[in-house]
Amino acid sequence: MMVSRETFHSQRRSDRHQGVTQDQRLTGKRFWLIAAILSLVAVTALFLILGLAPFGPHNLAMSDMGSQYTQFFLMLRRAIVQHAWSPYSFTVGIGDSVIPIYTYYLMSPLNLLILAFPASHILTAINLIIFTKLVLASLSMTVLLTYKYNHRGFFTIGAGLAYSLSGFVAMNFYDLMWLDAVVLFPLIILGLERLFDNHIWGYLITLTATIVINYYMGYQTCLFVVFYFIYLLIRRKTHDDHSTGQYFKQQWPTIRRFIGLSALAGLLSAVVLLPTVFAMLSTGKNTFSAADYQLAPTFGGSALAGLGIGTTNFEGHLVHNPAVFVGLTFVVALLTFFLAKRVTSRAKWTGGGLLLVVILFMGLRPLNTIWHMFQMPAGFPFRMSYILSFVIIALGYEGAVSGAFNETRRVLMAGVGTAVLLSVGYWFANHPLSIDQTDPGFETQFMVSNNNYWLSLGAIVVATLLIALIGRQIKIARPLIVVFVGLEMVTNFVLATATLPFGNEARFSRAYTRSEAATNQRQQSGAMLAADTGDDSGFYRVGAIDHAFSKAFPQAYSGYNDAMTFDYAGASSYSSTLNSHTLNTMRNLGFFSRNERRISFQGSSAPAAQLLGLKYLFRVGEKPAVTTLLHRASLGYMVNDQLADTQLRPGDVLANLNRLLQGSTGRQNQFMQAAKVHLLSTSQRRGYRYQLKVTAATSGPQYLYIKDINVAEVTGYRDGERFSSDRHTPGNVLMGLGRMKAGQTTRVTLTSVHPLRQLSQSFAGLDQAAFTKWQQTIAKHQLKLRNAQSVLTHGANLTGEVTVGSTNRLLMVSVPYDKGWQVTVDGTAVATTKVMDGLLGVHLTPGQHQVTLQYRPQGLLVGGILTLVGLCLVVLMAGVRVRRVASE
């Protein structure tokens, strides 16, 4: 897009005469005022049409916003209001570092807007954060184009609107943590351009801010920045330059600045990056899939339909073609750029090369995986498509200022070419080939309405006409084109959200207020119960089923993050950063898990409840309101050393519960005893039906776990009374049959969509007598926390006392193993060990001990030092440059 520095500024001046002329009345402050007003008007109109609060009754309590982001923002708000931020929280699963949650979701400075609203209106605050980011994205693109080409006009403002309301934004605007990168991206590009003129601060500041605010999007930006810098080096070389070697030698100072400043941005971000890297190594994000690197396309010809209006919507939000809509005006402008004679051949092939690189990285699976930080996303694909949108707009705009619009014939050819591309895309969408079946499990991947095809063709005609009129210097076409671009973008946005299940803000606010009050009341009841029963161990976890709150959400709401919402120690979690130790340990003990991002307290058994310290089950909106679970211990207790070497086997839940108790006690008793199962009858009518006679082998609670099934498709009855899980999503879970005596027989009926296998090995009971004896032993050797009430606010600092006997010398702490835990015993630092390949353990000697556990995020100290070094280098650089300017 640029030529050599010597001729660049003169070319920009001449562009006024050969390209889109300056709008004489849009100069100085007036231009920026109009740009801001038009951006505000467009986004306000969009929010009014969508009815988003505070402009209407709707909120975004759906998809990940309803199940994750809302809860994260409530956690952030609580930490700020209570002045009680801790790097470790027991509201996340069974406890985990909150570093990856903050660094991925919550680092935007605009998030401070939530402090202006009560917690019950957190979603209104989030709407306004999104609103602000959309306006800023439009202005940032306008800033780039204005200063890059020294040109300002209505078409410049239209380019800003096309960028801020692009197809990527329309499909992902409720994933608001990605929008900061969209805002900063044009400013990074502007800073990169200015590096060639020895202006360094814009690039350094904006790149650092992008990485710090969201490291994931920052990584994608960094990749593109490398390609764009190479593009600039090639683009700026002119025929006046001598050999290629001499040219690059002349550009070496700029190359050195680029490498040094990029590395410095990494240094300045290290205090965020290093702790995040170490924390993410404990999640499912560190897995490698060879299939992600197989050479295959990620989309087919139907992707061309995405150039038109209304080709993606919420129904395909998890699996869809690249969302690259930028308005058909800019598609026509792009083709005009490549067709026009006034655009130099170097501009065309370098711009085409940049466009091709981005398309290849999106279209080839191995490259797409690399751009997504070496792991294909689980839903919401093509997260870099805003970069392709940016390139399309930028090249189209360059064609405008280069005089391409003056070539009416080329403009008309571009309009026809756009119609052909769109038609090809629709043909593939209506006649999908195998290359288009990127996900065979998603039958309606291409959300294409053929009615929108005709709408898009009409838009092409209007866009082509307006561009041709601008080339003919018809003044009225200039403001008309920004109005038309705004209409294109808003129309596409509305169509993209037409199937989005909006929530009701007033209903959410009322439900939140009621549930918060009910939860606080239940917690107070829990505290009184603990006092009444003489329980002084101090710590317990809670499982909550809040049917009243779930009704405030427009989609099925499972309450995974309710502990975070209402501030209590729970055992469920839903996050892309879920600790893999938590997931694997709980899933192998029978707790419900749909995928690697979700774990629920449902599926608890007596041994597992004891292990995790689950004491209460709250039912908000039901009776009884509080159920006390009798089988539980504190945050930690003494177990036999054998537990450190105990391995839980995937899918072998009943045996795993037995292994847990055997390893804990150091005994080979059969704590879990298989029941005798007699198949009475089977039938197959609208599914499979099994009638069984089950005889308990021991007195105590009885359990059922069927391997390799989806519990949402299984219904179970014991003596005519339903006992099956109430889960309505795919996954497996341990199911309780109730208490039985040894030799007692019961009739069990199971119905299933699919055949059930190995039923004879799927029932077992807990030897209650042996388990009770073990509980009595635990009671004498629990970790009794000081100030257990402060665990929620200061989860990274725990102190307690424990009595160690002569046999069981391993303190098992029911938190996921993490090298960030630093443990001292009686003031002396000791090593930690991994228990059951997932939990934290400390070897102790017999006697009374004071144990202190402090969580120090790995990489935080080193990252802080590197950031400090980076800041020192910034100060040094600033001083050198000031002296240099003074000496000149």
Nearest to 37 by CA among 479, 494, 386: 479
d(CA 829, CA 843): 12
Q: Which of 170-184, 726-740, 746-760 has the lowest mean pLDDT?
A: 726-740
The answer for residues whose C-beta is within 8 angstroms of residue 21's C-beta and 6 or more apart is 153, 473
Q: CA torsion sign, 143 to 145 to 146 to 149?
A: positive
pLDDT of residue 710: 81
700 phi, psi to nearest 5 deg: 150, -175
How much is the pLDDT for 793? 84
CA dist 884 → 254, 259, 877 (Å): 17, 21, 11
Q: Render 577-607 in DSSP notation, one character per residue.
A: T-BHHHHHHHHHTT--BSSTTEE-STT--HH
| 189-238 pLDDT tens trace | 999 999 999 999 999 999 999 999 999 999 999 999 999 999 999 998 87
User: What is the token pair recorded at 529?
Assistant: 């119960």
Q: Is the pLDDT of residue 587 over 60?
A: yes
Residue 10: the pLDDT is 43
Q: How far is CA 844 from CA 576, 681, 803, 831, in A?
A: 35, 54, 10, 10
pLDDT band at 885 (very low <50, low <70, confident <90, very high): confident
Kindly give the residue spans of alpha helices, DSSP state H, lying in 118-251. Answer: 122-149, 154-164, 167-172, 179-194, 201-213, 215-236, 244-250
Check residue 711 and give its pLDDT.
81
Closest-CA residue to 128 (of 120, 137, 117, 143): 117
In tens, the pLDDT along 766-818 reads: 999 999 999 999 989 999 998 777 888 889 999 999 999 999 999 999 999 99
Q: Which of 289-298, 482-491, 733-742, 876-885 has the highest mean pLDDT?
A: 482-491
Res 12: pLDDT = 42
pLDDT of residue 7 exceeding 50: no
116-157 pLDDT, tens digit per residue, is 999 999 999 999 999 999 999 999 999 999 999 988 999 999
| pLDDT for res 123 | 98
State the pairing for strand pair 541-546/614-620: parallel
**If you average pLDDT over residues 29-40, what whole number do you get?**
95
pLDDT of residue 246: 87
- End-to-end Cα distance, the chain: 32
pLDDT at 869 over 80: yes
Query: Up-side HSE of residue 527: CA atoms within 13 Å toward CB?
Result: 8
| pLDDT confidence of residue 316 | 80
Percent of the chain clearing pLDDT 90 (strictly above): 71
At residue 65, the pLDDT reads 95
Q: Which residues of 617-655 are buried (b: 16+ CB within 10 A; e: fewer)?
A: bbbbbeeeebeebebbbbbbbbbbbbbbebebeeeebbb
Least confident span in 296-305, 389-398, 727-736: 727-736
**Got the DSSP string for 502-526?**
-EEHHHHHHHHHHHHHHHHHHHHHH
pLDDT confidence bin for 529, thresholds 50/70/90? very low
* Token pair of 197 as six digits: 């003129």
Q: Which residue has the tokens 């390893």?
A: 663
Question: Which comes out higher in pLDDT, residue 731 or 700?
Answer: 700
Tokens 């098992």 belong to which residue? 812
Mean of pLDDT values over 362-382: 89
Percent of the chain with pLDDT over 70: 91
444: pLDDT strictly greater than 70: no
> In terms of residues, how long is the chain?
888
The confidence score (pLDDT) of residue 585 equals: 94
The confidence score (pLDDT) of residue 533 equals 43
Token pair, residue 843, equals: 């070897």
476 confidence band (pLDDT: 50, 70, 90): very high
Predicted confidence at residue 429, as pLDDT, reads 86
What's the pLDDT at 289?
A: 80
Cα distances from 128 to residues 55, 174, 552, in angstroms, run 10, 11, 20
**Mean pLDDT throughout 414-441?**
78
* CB 137, CB 169: distance < 8 Å: yes
Q: How confident is the model at residue 448 (pLDDT cuts 50, 70, 90)?
A: low
Mean pLDDT of the chain: 89
Q: What is the dihedral of CA 320, 325, 328, 334, to 10 degrees?
A: -110
